Chains A and B, each alone.
Chain A
Amino acid sequence: GIQVEQSPPDLILQEGANSTLRCNFSDSVNNLQWFHQNPWGQLINLFYIPSGTKQNGRLSATTVATERYSLLYISSSQTTDSGVYFCAGRETDKLIFGTGTRLQVFP
């Protein structure tokens, strides 16, 4: 079955709007991380969040490990938030990626 699943696949927002991205993961996957891939292909670490809640500026993330999901919140979105957001979890030593959420923020 699918080990790491993300939704929605695409999201279009106007600047200033808030959004929530979801990541569901299977029992074999742990140590959730969230990444932002910029237009140049570079992966930017957003959160390493095996459980609990973390905040960094306008972004925050919550992982409920017992229910096998994680949420990434983006508040007051800006055009620079555009790109693809990936969640990934570890299965033994390997990092398993979700299919990503493509976010477009328009002015």
Chain B
Amino acid sequence: SAVISQKPSRDICQRGTSLTIQCQVDSQVTMMFWYRQQPGQSLTLIATANQGSEATYESGFVIDKFPISRPNLTFSTLTVSNMSPEDSSIYLCSVVGGEAFFGQGTRLTVV
């Protein structure tokens, strides 16, 4: 199993600002995944973060809006840029080793 520490757990931000979410894993992993869960919806994959290369984004998500860093095999950040109220969601990071494990999630409210 993997233990993922994600922070912040929640935040309230002003529109037009940016928020960086951090995830720390207790073991080295090749890929880390970032998901968004809009209110009342299921989870949608934003991007896959590989160490040493650019992240791979899913359709509908772009690097300018959701820049991702992956400086080493245990850490990744997701930034939500130039936020609007539509970005209010839960953001989760994940790792997969057979079974998938998730961080605690970041509940973001944009006002």
Chain A interfacial positions (CB closer than 8 Å to B): 31, 33, 35, 40-43, 45, 48, 86, 88, 90, 93-95, 97-100
Contact = CB atoms under 8 A, between A and B. Distances in A.
A41 B90 contact: yes
A86 B37 CA distance: 12
Given A93-B48, A95-B33, A98-B42, A48 B105 contact: no
B31 interface: yes
B104 A94 contact: no
B48 A42 contact: no
Q: Please classify how large the interface on chain B is, using the bins under 10, 10 to 19, 20 to 34, 35 or more.
A: 20 to 34
- Dominant SS at the B interface? strand
B105 A33 contact: no
Given A86-B42, A86-B43, A93-B48, A41 B37 contact: yes
23 contacts: A31-B98, A31-B99, A33-B99, A33-B100, A35-B102, A41-B37, A41-B90, A41-B105, A41-B107, A42-B102, A43-B105, A45-B102, A48-B98, A48-B99, A88-B100, A90-B100, A93-B31, A93-B96, A94-B45, A95-B43, A95-B94, A95-B96, A99-B42
Given A45-B99, A90-B100, 14 more contacts: A33-B100, A40-B107, A41-B90, A41-B105, A42-B102, A43-B105, A45-B100, A48-B98, A48-B99, A88-B100, A93-B48, A95-B43, A95-B45, A100-B42
Contacts of B100: 33, 45, 88, 90, 95
Interface in B58-111: 90, 92, 94, 96, 98-102, 104-105, 107
B100 to A, nearest CB: 5
Contacts of A33: 99-100
A97 B107 contact: no
B48 to A, nearest CB: 7
A98 B37 CA distance: 12
Contacts of A99: 42
Q: Which 4 A-B pairs have the closest CB atoms?
A: A48-B99, A43-B102, A41-B105, A97-B43
